[in-house]
Amino acid sequence: MAKTALRREKDIQKNETPSHFQFGAINLSSYEAIIRDRLEKSTLLWESLRPSYVSLTRSTLYNKVLRMIPSGKPFLRRRKKRWLPPEMTTPPVLDLNEAAGPVEPHYALLINPFYPKDANASFGKHVLTPSLALTSFAATTPANWRVEYFDENLLDGRPPFRPMPQVVGITVHLTFARRAYELADWYRARGAKAIFGGLHVLSCPDECAPHADALALGDGVQLWPRILRDVEIGRLQPRYVATYENDYCDDPPPRRSILPRYSFLTTTSLIATRGCHNRCGFCYLATDGLRMPYRMRRPQQVVEEFEADNQPYAVFIDNNLGARRDYLHTLCAALRPLNKIWSAAVTIDVTDDPSLIRNMALAGCTGVFIGFESLSDDNLAEAHKKTPKTSDYARRVRMLHDHGIQVNGSFVLGFDHDRKDVFARTAEWVEENRLECSTFHILTPYPATPLFRQMEAEGRLLHRDWTLYDTGHAVFRPRHMSPEELEHGYAWIYQRLFSHPSIWRRRPEDWQAVPLYLAMSYLYKRSNRFWHLLIRHDLVNPVWKPLVEMTRWRHVRYRRQLAEREKLVASPGQVVSAGV
Ligand code: B12
Ligand code: SF4
């Protein structure tokens, strides 16, 4: 029965209208198997279609039902092995026989270590915008120190060592902790002092300690000048601790001048707030020892940083820019005169306030990154995420689209209420609601979070190889499928969302916006064979720039129309927003 149904579906997708297909009135019995399979497994669509089930027109049948992704589809084919350029998987070699050169006093080298890229997702996301981990505290370097930045992910070979820096500052996340240790060991053996900071240092300090001369636990902006002063006087301590409870307005702007400008779509990673009003059990914000109350910078400080970096597009890397709506309103008012564009991560409840969405659009917001996490209310409740009902998500997405704001949806796969149909259902929902971009993560219990403790207590952790805790691997035993099935479904959903039919199905309704949308999508989603070349030859910014400028131009025109008329009539601008 199922085989016949699939064959019939193939017929229709090939546009071969079966002989007994009647225009208008449909012989439902011949399609019953397909319809039942798809409708029953997609409760969301079932609810919307049930009333018209008996009187389906041909186009409804084609568009809503036959094109729906069958729940078993992810598992029909074997997983394809994907080609990866070696420089995207393997870090540059550190020559152990390399002789030590003289150490240059008062020279600090800041390193973002290499991490292997996931071939399922876009390689482009790694060069959208830089992390602020190093530039934020680089701004506090005393004037008598020279500071340099080196990101191993920009494929310029191994970090510099001639002259040998007096201090090497390394940011450490769990996925690249091993590489950070290798780098630190190498530099220390040749006379440099290695300082570690970042999230992994906070969650696993004892693991990090043997590889570093000092650990910075918490806010580097407060600690870095202290550390350098102690190096100067020869009294470096093994641990430095700072909280995130200070007034955020006192922080200097990040030192973006040390970043290579052509290596990113934009160097303007902005941060206006820290913390989040939620405390989801799987989020890094729930890490033991990390207290990050919601703190905001003055909107004018943010505006000045945006202007000073002289880029048309900025990415807010805040955990949740929308946690305080009154603040976001004020920030939007301050950003509006700039005539620039930006994107930010917010929670979907920003749509509770339609005037806020309008103000975001008027201020240049072209894209939001939304952690929907799951389409199951049970999963969200168990993760302690305060969020509107999932049945209302579609209406809220529509509201953002109506204001020319693209939606990059982030979904976590492998929660305890996820069954094997989660992949097809999620992909179907993303396509049905025309999310321009989406990011998927396999549920990953980060060390020192409530989720980690729960998985550990239930004996469900498979290992502690942090390199694989990159949200692209199943590192725990899911409830309703095997780890292999979870990884298989994850690979399938990316493949599906990066496919030509899926990109086309999610195109904007306004045909004038389609060419730009397609150019952005193809560069971002289907160019993994070329990204390493663009990155290595500093072409990332030159290639993206015309598309960004066109987007900005369209958006400025749209905003003007939006401001003039109370009603929304104009066509939206398009830009790909960052997905992490
Ligand atoms: C920008 C970003 C990216 C960028 C760039 C990443 C990079 N490594 O270069 C891109 C898009 C490429 C990216 C990709 C990914 N990311 Co990301 N990313 C972020 C984001 C949004 C901002 C980072 C940032 O700039 N923070 C602001 C700075 C100022 O804070 P900070 O890093 O904590 O640094 C402060 C201190 O820790 C300290 N400090 C840090 N380093 C050092 C070093 C020294 C020497 C000292 C003294 C102090 C110090 O001082 C700083 C100032 O206080 C964060 C979320 C967030 N808002 O933080 C996620 C986040 C870091 N990413 C995360 C993840 C999971 C990923 C991915 C694995 C996701 C995926 N599947 O693709 C990938 C892989 C990248 C990787 N392996 O690191 C997680 C990490 C979770 C964890 N426990 O490790 C985070 C926290 C998001 C989340 N909510 O879960 N990401
Ligand atoms: S809403 Fe997002 S940033 Fe806030 S706690 Fe939950 S996962 Fe973390």
Ligand minimally distant from the alpha carbon of residue 113:
1
Domain limit, last residue, from 38, 68, 98:
68
Residue 31 contacts residue 9 (beta carbons within 8 Å):
no
Number of folded domains that form the chain:
2
Domain limit, last residue, from 209, 232, 248:
248
Domain match, 42 and 106 both: no
Nearest CA to ligand 1 atom 35: 133
Residue 349 contacts residue 371 (beta carbons within 8 Å):
no
Helices (H), 189-316: 199-203, 205-208, 220-232, 299-309
Helices (H), 448-569: 450-457, 483-497, 500-505, 514-525, 531-536, 540-564
Residue 473 and residue 455: Cα distance in Å, rounded? 15
Domain limit, last residue, from 184, 215, 248:
248
Nearest C-alpha neighbor of 136 from the set 318, 343, 324: 318
- Residue 62's domain spans which residues? 2-68
Q: Which stretch of 2-6, 100-104, 123-127, 508-512 has the lowest confidence by average pLDDT?
A: 2-6
Higher pLDDT, 252 or 510: 252
Instruction: Count Cα atoms within 13 angstroms, Cβ side, for 564.
Output: 8
* Confidence grade of residue 78 (pLDDT, cut at 50, 70, 90): confident
287 lines ligand 2 (CB under 6 A): no
Report pLDDT for 38. Answer: 59
* Confidence grade of residue 349 (pLDDT, cut at 50, 70, 90): very high
Alpha carbon 337 to its chain centroid, in Å, reads 28
**Threshold 0.75, pTM exceeds:** yes
Identify whether 151 is part of a domain. Answer: yes
Residue 90 and residue 86: Cα distance in Å, rounded? 6
How remote is the CA of residue 168 from the centroid of ligand 2, in Å? 32
Q: What is the CATH number of the domain that holds 164?
A: 3.40.50.280
* Confidence grade of residue 65 (pLDDT, cut at 50, 70, 90): low
Q: Which amino acid is at 300?
A: Q
Query: DSSP string covering 5-23, please?
Result: HHHHHHHHHTT---TT--S
How remote is the CA of residue 282 from the centroid of ligand 2, in Å? 8
> Is pLDDT above 60 for 216?
yes
Domain match, 62 and 177 both: no
Report pLDDT for 71. Answer: 86
Ligand minimally distant from the alpha carbon of residue 282:
2
Identify whether 484 is part of a domain. Answer: no
Identify whether 135 is part of a domain. Answer: yes
Report pLDDT for 281. Answer: 85
Q: Which amino acid is at 14?
A: K
Identify whether 227 is part of a domain. Answer: yes
Report pLDDT for 492. Answer: 96
The percent of residues in the chain predicted with pLDDT above 90, rounded, is 78
> Is pLDDT above 60 for 59?
no
Domain match, 192 and 240 both: yes
> Is pLDDT above 50 for 461?
yes
Domain match, 7 and 51 both: yes
Domain match, 217 and 180 both: yes
DSSP for residue 349: G
For residue 277, give the ligand 2 atom closest to its CA: 4
Q: Which stretch of 140-154, 355-369, 500-514 has the lowest confidence by average pLDDT?
A: 500-514
Domain match, 164 and 194 both: yes
> Is pLDDT above 80 for 207?
yes
Identify whether 98 is part of a domain. Answer: yes
Query: DSSP string covering 541-568, please?
Result: HHHHHHHHHHHHHHHHHHHHHHHH-SS-
- Residues near ligand 1 with C-beta < 6 Å? 112, 115, 121, 125-126, 128, 131-133, 136-137, 169-171, 173-176, 195, 197-199, 216, 219-221, 223-224, 271, 283-284, 317, 319, 441, 446, 470-472, 578, 580
Domain match, 19 and 138 both: no
Domain match, 204 and 233 both: yes
Report pLDDT for 28. Answer: 45
Ligand minimally distant from the alpha carbon of residue 138:
1
How remote is the CA of residue 110 from the centroid of ligand 1, in Å? 15
Domain match, 61 and 90 both: no
Domain match, 113 and 190 both: yes
Strands 146-151 and 103-112 turn out to be parallel
374 lines ligand 2 (CB under 6 A): no
* Confidence grade of residue 72 (pLDDT, cut at 50, 70, 90): confident
Identify whether 186 is part of a domain. Answer: yes
Mean pLDDT of 182-205: 97
Domain match, 163 and 137 both: yes
| Residue in the structure block whose two tokens are 């990673």 | 269
Mean pLDDT of 358-385: 97
Domain match, 43 and 94 both: no
Report pLDDT for 35. Answer: 58
Report pLDDT for 579. Answer: 40
Nearest CA to ligand 1 atom 64: 580
Tokens of 399: 């509201």
Residue 237 and residue 253: Cα distance in Å, rounded? 27
Report pLDDT digits (tens) over 252-278. Answer: 999 999 999 999 999 999 999 999 988
Residue 360 and residue 365: Cα distance in Å, rounded? 5
Residue 399 contacts residue 360 (beta carbons within 8 Å):
no
